[in-house]
Structure 1
Amino acid sequence: MKKIAVVYQSNYGSTERYARWLAEELGADCYNAAKVRPDVVQDVPIIAYGGGLYAGGINGVSFLTRRPDRFQGKTLVVFTVGLNPVRDAAASTAILEQNFPPAMRDQVRLFHLNGALDCGKLNLLHRMMMKGLHGVLAKKKVEELTENDRMILNAYEKPVDFTDRKALRPVVDALKELERAAEAR
């Protein structure tokens, strides 16, 4: 029996790319959360879930949280994918609190990965959000712009892709460690 399953929800492809790379690296099965029933992964002790990060919300995370009893006793490794890197513990804690009920939080190990952006491929809502953000950032003085601000302004003008298979290494290492521990039991 496999110890790890990879499940993802992807709007524009970056999360799916990471999920497929992760499944390949681990020899795990990979499932699109929108197309698989949660009972398919019922017997797998470790679930790696990937979703895009939009305003602090993890895309499709309801796959895990809608019926948390289905995932009781499992280890959940969650990776988010977004244009802005999440680098501090406070931001990670806020994401965890926003997306998971208190009873599930101890089960979750959270990782963040950089994605891609092609404004021409965004849906209407995301295009409007990017236009608004671009407008706010474009009004800032050049010396007030952060590195992330400049990255977003550039991404608005032309597609950018920060996906990197090597960035998965901490996720892979954590999952392999969890797999070894599960096999030892």
Structure 2
Amino acid sequence: MKKIVIYSSKTGFTKQYANWIAKELNCEAISLHEVTKESLKPYHTVIYGGGITAGQIGGLKKFKNIMLEHSDKQIFVFATGATPMENKENLKGIINANFTQEEKVRIPFYYFQSGINYENMKLGGKMVLRILAVMLEKKKNKTKDEIDLIQALRKSNDCSNISHIIPLVDKVRRESNEKTSAS
């Protein structure tokens, strides 16, 4: 079963995760900018990843539009962001903001903590994060998550870890084996 990893990356974290996944699955990782409806025909499994910005998975709408003509494909989606993976409320918000009820059932979703890379960010993104940090610092009675977020927002940081991809890679392998044995 032929697989491909497609990604949309602004600061490099999603690209890093896409490359790790592709290496583990022995397949190619390409930017969403290179993808056309036609180019996906040979693939059975398509894994998409994008970074989180204001709760939205980058490039996901474009990816979904491309995939409309490929309903026969097995799809997996992952997102990367600065928020710790343990923050279940954040995860629920991301899922609800990006997937329909039907997609929540059909498309396995994974979230990987990455980090913040101010050096690769555009000015608008930098400003939003700086404003968020100031707002959180002024807040009284901060939660532990808010205190941790303030620390994380102060400077560039990288929490990426190849071990985060294991559940996704294992699921893709299991699903591919099931499809192969059913054929």
Q: Distance in 2 between matches of 1:114 and 1:43?
A: 31
SS of 1:180's equivalent? helix
1:64-79 equivalences under 5 Å are: 64-79=63-78
The answer on whether the counterparts of 1:119 and 1:156 sit within 8 Å (CA) in structure 2 is no
SS of 1:71's equivalent in the other structure is coil
Residue identity (%) = 23
Deviations 1:109-162 (A, max 9, x none): 000000121334321221121021111111134x6242x323332233322100
Contact 2:133/2:154 (CA < 8 Å) preserved in 1?
no
CA distance in 1, matches of 2:131, 2:19: 32
Aligned partners of 2:61, 2:17: CA distance in 1, in Å? Answer: 20
Q: Distance in 1 between matches of 2:66 and 2:34?
A: 17
CA deviation string 1:45-92 (max 9, x = no partner): 211111001222100112322244223122211111000135466654
Unaligned runs of 5+ in 2: none
Find the counterpart in structure 1 of residue 120 from structure 2. 121
What TM-score, normalized to structure 2? 0.87
Question: How far off is 1:101 after superposition?
Answer: 4.3
Residues 76, 107 of structure 2: 8 Å contact kept: yes
State how many pairs are aligned.
Answer: 182
Contact 1:75–1:107 (Cα < 8 Å) also in 2: no
CA root-mean-square deviation: 2.2
Query: 2:179 matched to which residue of 1?
Result: 182
Q: Residue 150 of structure 1 is aligned with which of 147, 151, 157?
A: 147
- Displacement of 1:36 in angstroms is 2.0
Q: Note closer, same or farther for the CA distance 1:64–1:116 as it changes in structure 2 (3 Å cut).
A: same
User: Which residue identity is paired with 2:180?
Assistant: E
In structure 2, the residue matched to 1:167 is: 164
Q: What SS does structure 2 have at the residue aligned with 1:73?
A: coil
Task: Note closer, same or farther for the CA distance 1:160–1:151 as it changes in structure 2 (3 Å cut).
Answer: farther
Worse-matched range after superposition: 172-181 or 34-43: 34-43
TM-score (norm 1): 0.86
CA distance in 2, matches of 1:92, 1:153: 19
The 2-side partners of 1:179 and 1:21 are apart by: 18
Conservation of the 8 A alpha-carbon contact between 1:85 and 1:112? no
Distance 1:85 1:39 in 2: 37
Following superposition of structure 1 onto structure 2, how do residues 25-174 of structure 1 map, counting pairs within 5 Å? Answer: 25-87=24-86, 91-141=90-140, 144-146=142-144, 148-174=145-171
